[in-house]
Amino acid sequence: MCNGRNVTILAPKAFLARNRDIVDASDVLIAAPFEEKEVLRSGTWATVRYAEQARRPVYLVLPSGRVMHSNYGCPL
């Protein structure tokens, strides 16, 4: 996937700031939270919420193995 070209290495940041940078640089977010349901104090879920606010497609790979498109809450 990565042959060393077109790679950008960014300076370290706090987790939430780093996660927002990832969303901002992405067309789609694939997240694998530890929980089946949304948790308010979770970095993964905070990133999912930010991606949804940024109108990015979000796919959740849940602990059960089920994959959901979070914008609609429907299994794929």
Percentage of residues of the chain with pLDDT beyond 70: 87
Indicate the average pLDDT of the chain: 87
What contacts 13, CB < 8 A, 6 or more positions away? 21
The pLDDT of residue 51: 94
Phi, psi (rounded to 5 degrees) for 7: -110, 130
- The residue ranges of every structural domain in the chain are 15-75
What are the residues facing 67 on neighbouring strands? 61
Residue of higher predicted confidence among 10 and 22: 22
